[in-house]
Homo-oligomer: A and B are copies of this chain.
């Protein structure tokens, strides 16, 4: 489940490769990278704060947040009508480690 065995020390199993590829794929999109960047800069933001800067429709934003949540990179906290998004920094650190830390 994505622990130990960083990429550059060799011996990456197929299952590990698939799992890591999934997480990296979640980050491999300009809109999602900017989304993460925005959340990182503001601590906690709601979807309506993302729509403007990212220049995408509301369903598209919703789609991207979902992808990031499923990758374990983003966390959503529902409060009334709003959903507040925040990063999961440990997950980013984990990816960094797997990439050869």
Least CB separation from A9: chain B residue: B40
A69 touches B (CB below 8 Å): no
Query: What number of copies of this chain does the assembly contain?
Result: 2
How would residues 26 to 69 of chain A score, 1 for a CB under 8 Å from any chain B CB and 0 otherwise? 01111111101110111000000000000000000000000000
Q: Is the CB of B11 within 8 A of A41?
A: yes
Q: Is the interface of A mostly helix, strand, loop or mixed?
A: helix
Q: Are A28 and B28 in contact (CB under 8 A)?
A: yes
* CB pair B12 A34 closer than 8 Å: yes
Establish whether residues A37 and B7, one from each chain, have CB atoms under 8 Å apart when the complex forms. Answer: yes
Give the residues in chain B near A38, CB-CB below 8 Å.
Answer: 10
Closest 3 CB pairs of A and B: A10-B41, A12-B37, A25-B28
